[in-house]
Structure 1
Amino acid sequence: MIATILTPRIMEVGGGAVARVAEVLARLGCSRPLVVTDPWMRDSGTVEKVLAPLRQAGMAFDVFADTVPDPTTDVVAAGTERLLSGGFDSMVALGGGSPIDTAKAMGILAANGGELRSYKVPNPIPKAGVPLLAIPTTAGTGSEVTRFTVVTDTGTDEKMLIAGPMLVPTAAIVDYELTLTCPLRLTADTGIDALTHAIEAYVSRKANPFSDSMALAAIRKIAPNIRAACAEPGNRAAREAMMLGATLAGMAFSNASVALVHGMSRPIGAFFHVPHGLSNAMLLPAVTAFSLPAAEARYADCARAMGAVGEGMPDEAAGLALLDALRDLNADLKVPGPKAYGIDEARWNGLLATMAEQAIASGSPGNNPRVPDAQQIVALYREAWAA
């Protein structure tokens, strides 16, 4: 098979790498960036880790710090107006997946005009935006290396998937030291998000030898370290492994695809404002159990990479051990089901058909080893409800 592989042009990886932000921009031929971040990064002073090197290099810049968790078309529109009005030649996105996804969408909208919904999957993106340097502060989304952005359409409450080569950041700085202050819940949810990326990339119908190698390497980094990163936030070795694992998982699914977990997860985030990584975690055990019969050997490889079984364990037993390992991980990290999270049961049940429709429309369930119909997706939502 022939696989098309997309990655950032430049990647700086390691503790303290954020200090190289101005150097990376200069290598891209850029000198006037718009820094895209969120209010917490601004108010906590974390953004200064980016701004100080820019000042020292004599670069002119401005800051757009109005991004929100789960990006919306309204915020993207406001950011696009700032980008277009300031004469910027680049963007630096600092934060979790939300600021990075917002910056990606801003770049596309600024370059192509119109409404963002015009570019959702499967529609093409004609022109690339200005160069984007992505700097993640969580070990989870992998957005710093992916060809995707997810934005909620405020007019329809649909969590839109937008995809294409134009969305791969031009450069990325992956500095695990930026995650040392992440609280337990954020560390857990983003960590399971990264694990989900790796597992889904490996079992995807679009998997290829490159994505396979990235996915298994990511699982081997994440699984032994996620509990330590949550319990010991200052554990630098665990934080470094989680950060690298998240980036590897991002490269895996960007060059293969995600599957049913992500397709079902996006509507939960859109309608109930559940953080993306948490909604993935809510679904991962049930969806894996549903999918296991169609890709037993692949899921068994994931179990071995997690360390849930030895290399000699038969595939059938290894697949079952993977289910136990995922359920145990959710229990250890206190992942709530939708019911325990506080979602209203009547509203949940009333939206099941719509959520299933939106999940299928995203295209992600079609990449799953076992492709469900709408009724099966509704049944999986019901199973996840009280988990």
Structure 2
Amino acid sequence: MKAFQLIPSIAEYADFGTLAKALKFGPADLILTNEYIYNPTIASLKLGCHTCFQEKYGAGEPTDVMVDAILNDLRDKDYDRIVAVGGGTVIDIAKVLSVAQPSDKVDDLYDRMASLEKEHPLIIVPTTCGTGSEVTNISIINRTTKGIKVGLVSPAMFADEAALVPAMLDSLPYPVFATSSIDAMVHAVESYLSPNACALSEMLSEKALQLILRGWKDAVASGSKDGWKQHAPEFLRASNFAGIAFGHAGCAAVHAMAYPLGGVHHIPHGQANQLMFADVMRKYQEKKPIGKINRLEELLAKELDVEPVFALEQLYTLMDAVLERGPLHAHGVTAEELPDFAHSVMQTQQRLLGNNYAVLTEEDLLAIYRAAY
């Protein structure tokens, strides 16, 4: 069995100023973030750090074009540590920067993935409650020249510290909260069901699910789009716990099948996961109705106050109350694309499909896409 390990140190801070003082941020540091995060929370601290604003290089999830442009602009800057302050896009880019040499492009890093070394110490401050990427060693890049989203993975890409600052979630828009917390929930479920799970990763998956479901129920019951904010620390911890869990046990078919939706139609990652989640789980139940999925049903049933047999359907209902799902075709996906998506996932995402609860064939993947369509 794969040994459980936790490489980044993890600490919580009351606010960014406390973090900056504790870690002595200054002119030798590069802060990679977004201007809408930097201006209200960091600028007034006058830290003297170098800055790089991700949105100046493109919108959406990270692409090779975006990262290459950032690498090019940073070649002449003299900095030591990288401080990533943001959501999944900022964090994934920062991991790439932390292992890139001055002359590198993204393709160079994929070519020598097995021998990457850390070039810059990395501190990650997540500002959403979903990615969990602050504690993983993978960066997902849309390689536009190859038409696929694929992970760059290396032990050298682990952060040196994951800094949790709940106050950084204060201005998080509701749609970003919804999609990111759904992403964290999917991380928890997929890592729990993974054949690579161990007792420690299962414990973290379970706790993440408990925190997310309780927070969702209260947020939905409040009737307010800001209702979730009273649970912001819990959602941030849940994201972190789920990140540790899937960093050990891996994600699976939900994520694998979501990638084409994000790569081709630019559907936000967490929302793409939601679009695939229910139908992947139903296929699991069809192919392997007796097994660990029954333990998951019992866990969900306790939190959702239903019998285990109804637990997953109740979860889908709660998810739709957090963010309405809708069919794939409502998001621009065409029926003609579905066989290509299924084939692409089977060919390029074996790293994830190896973590499936039940074996899925290409025909199964196509059936799942069609059910979600």
TM-score for both structures, normalised by structure 2:
0.88
CA contact (8 A) 1:145 1:169 kept: yes
Find the residue that maps to 2:152 and give its secondary structure: strand
CA contact (8 A) 2:300 2:312 kept: no
* Corresponding residue of 2:356: 368
CA distance in 2, matches of 1:252, 1:70: 23
What pairs up with 1:1-387 in 2 under 5 angstroms?
Answer: 1=1, 3-9=3-9, 11-14=10-13, 16-26=14-24, 32-42=28-38, 45-46=39-40, 49-53=41-45, 55-56=46-47, 59-65=48-54, 66=56, 68-110=59-101, 113-116=104-107, 118-119=109-110, 123-229=113-219, 231-233=224-226, 235-292=228-285, 293-294=287-288, 296-308=290-302, 318=308, 320-332=309-321, 333-341=323-331, 343-346=332-335, 348-349=337-338, 351-358=340-347, 360-385=348-373
Where structure 2 has 5 or more consecutive residues not aligned to the other structure, the ranges are none
- Residue deviations 1:313-355 (CA, integer Å, cap 9, x gap): 9xxx62x3232123212331312221222x1425533633443
Find the residue that maps to 1:192 and give its secondary structure: helix
- Residue deviations 1:264-299 (CA, integer Å, cap 9, x gap): 111211011010000001111111121235374433
- Go from structure 1 to structure 2 and tell me whether the alpha carbon gap of 1:5 and 1:265 turns closer, same or farther (over 3 Å shift): same
| Letter aligned with residue 219 of structure 1 | L
| Letter aligned with residue 260 of structure 1 | A
CA distance in 1, matches of 2:302, 2:324: 19
CA contact (8 A) 2:35 2:53 kept: no
CA contact (8 A) 1:229 1:235 kept: yes
CA distance in 1, matches of 2:301, 2:42: 38
* Aligned residue pairs, count: 366
CA distance in 2, matches of 1:115, 1:191: 29
- Residue deviations 1:227-258 (CA, integer Å, cap 9, x gap): 54463425543222111111111111012111
- Residue deviations 1:54-81 (CA, integer Å, cap 9, x gap): x35xx44233333532101111112222
Cα drift, residue 371 of structure 1: 2.0
CA contact (8 A) 2:37 2:86 kept: yes
CA distance in 1, matches of 2:129, 2:238: 8
Cα drift, residue 205 of structure 1: 1.4
Cα drift, residue 259 of structure 1: 0.9
Q: CA RMSD in A?
A: 2.7
- Residue deviations 1:17-68 (CA, integer Å, cap 9, x gap): 32233235349xx8511111235435xx24xx23444x35xx4423333353
CA distance in 2, matches of 1:323, 1:163: 32
CA contact (8 A) 2:304 2:311 kept: no
- Residue deviations 1:99-126 (CA, integer Å, cap 9, x gap): 1111111222337835437528x95242
- Go from structure 1 to structure 2 and tell me whether the alpha carbon gap of 1:349 and 1:259 turns closer, same or farther (over 3 Å shift): closer
| Letter aligned with residue 247 of structure 1 | N
CA distance in 2, matches of 1:362, 1:50: 41
Find the residue that maps to 1:285 and give its secondary structure: helix
| Letter aligned with residue 33 of structure 2 | T
Cα drift, residue 303 of structure 1: 3.2
CA contact (8 A) 1:153 1:160 kept: yes
| Letter aligned with residue 96 of structure 2 | A
- Go from structure 1 to structure 2 and tell me whether the alpha carbon gap of 1:214 and 1:373 turns closer, same or farther (over 3 Å shift): same
Cα drift, residue 217 of structure 1: 0.8
Find the residue that maps to 1:62 and give its secondary structure: strand
Cα drift, residue 372 of structure 1: 1.2
- Go from structure 1 to structure 2 and tell me whether the alpha carbon gap of 1:123 and 1:372 turns closer, same or farther (over 3 Å shift): farther
- Go from structure 1 to structure 2 and tell me whether the alpha carbon gap of 1:257 and 1:2 turns closer, same or farther (over 3 Å shift): closer
Where structure 1 has 5 or more consecutive residues not aligned to the other structure, the ranges are none
| Letter aligned with residue 64 of structure 1 | F
Cα drift, residue 152 of structure 1: 0.5
CA distance in 2, matches of 1:265, 1:376: 15
CA contact (8 A) 1:218 1:244 kept: yes
What percent of counterpart residues are identical? Answer: 25
